[in-house]
Amino acid sequence: MAFRGVWPILYAFFDEHERLDRAAMRAQVEACIRGGAHGIAVLGLVTEFHKLTLVERRTIIDWVLEDVAGRLPVAVTVNEAGVAAALEVARAAEAAGAAWLVLQPPQIAGLNEAALVRFMGALAEGVSIPCGPQNNPSMMDVALSASALRVLNRAHPHFRMMKGEGPILYVQRLIEETEGAFAIFNGLAGLELTDTHRIGCAGMIPAPDVADVQARVWAFMEAGDEEAAESLHRSVLPIATFMMMPRTAEHFAVYGKPFFAKRAGIGAVHGRRPCVEAHPLGAAILERLGRGLPSLAG
């Protein structure tokens, strides 16, 4: 299957006791589907995976695959630092019905590339669905070089997906240097969505904040109507810019999550400690920028 389009990556919603909120997670999936998402992604930086236990990560995988119920393909990020734990999550995601896996490199200082290749190779060897790395030098300290990516692709033909996030020139170089071997999904809140399509990326994995609008932008680009795509893209570009300026997962959690929750008809949003407090100015800016956006509530 050729995976393409806009795949919003889900937030982790918690209740007042900081437990995963089942109803809010289900409502989020339904809102993304109503908004025209081409796929769903989960357990990325905006899912606050660093605050989740292994059991909770497994729970989210099961919930999301159950709620999507085959209506859209689902990509699951595997972000365990050890091979055994990462394989446990990867195999659980495959068994639950995930379409492909985003394999996050261990963020271990001083880890050489040969060790990274062995880590990725062990994960690719342990699953049979398409997979590939998350290369995000804008927000992560460890990424794979083009030569390492080519080695892994040759050794494991299903190692052919990539969440290659960064400025458009970085992504363009990834495409060129890996000789088109990977279906690359950009991110960074969709800042360069139209150019992401132009350079031949498979799609975009933004937070769900305005993913419905971004899915329409992608559809215009697919249809060759670049003027309509650019006009619509400009309408939400200030929101994407506000979300990406600090380039931290916590910024998405404290501002993007309540913003999306309001659009999706999800009630009170609770953080999981430790978390920063929203500044009234930030909330007011998003409120102003989001005026006129349609509701995604059922």
List residues bridging with 75 in a β-sheet: 41, 100
Cα separation values, 284 from 16, 188, 193, Å: 24, 22, 25
Return the pLDDT at 109. Answer: 82
Helices (H), 40-145: 54-68, 83-96, 113-126
Taken in order of first residue, the domains within the chain and their CATH numbers are: 5-289 (3.20.20.70)
Return the pLDDT at 236. Answer: 98
Return the pLDDT at 174. Answer: 94
Element (H, E) at 78: strand 74-78
Return the pLDDT at 243. Answer: 96
Q: What is the pLDDT of residues 95-121, one digit of tens each?
A: 999 999 999 999 888 889 999 999 999
Residue 186's contacts (CB-CB under 8 Å, 6 or more residues apart) are 164, 165, 166, 168, 171, 192, 193, 196, 201, 203, 204, 205
List residues bridging with 163 in a β-sheet: 134, 185
DSSP 223: T
| Under 8 Å between Cβ of 98 and 66 | no
Q: What is the pLDDT of residues 149-206, one digit of tens each?
A: 999 999 999 999 999 999 999 999 999 999 999 999 999 999 999 999 999 999 999 9
d(CA 171, CA 184): 8
DSSP 143: -
DSSP 70: T
d(CA 18, CA 23): 14
d(CA 239, CA 117): 37
d(CA 54, CA 111): 23
C-alpha of 281 from chain center: 27
| Helix/strand/coil percentages in the chain, nearest 5 | 50, 10, 40
Return the pLDDT at 1. Answer: 57
What residues of the chain score a pLDDT lower than 50?
none
205 labelled binding-site residue: yes
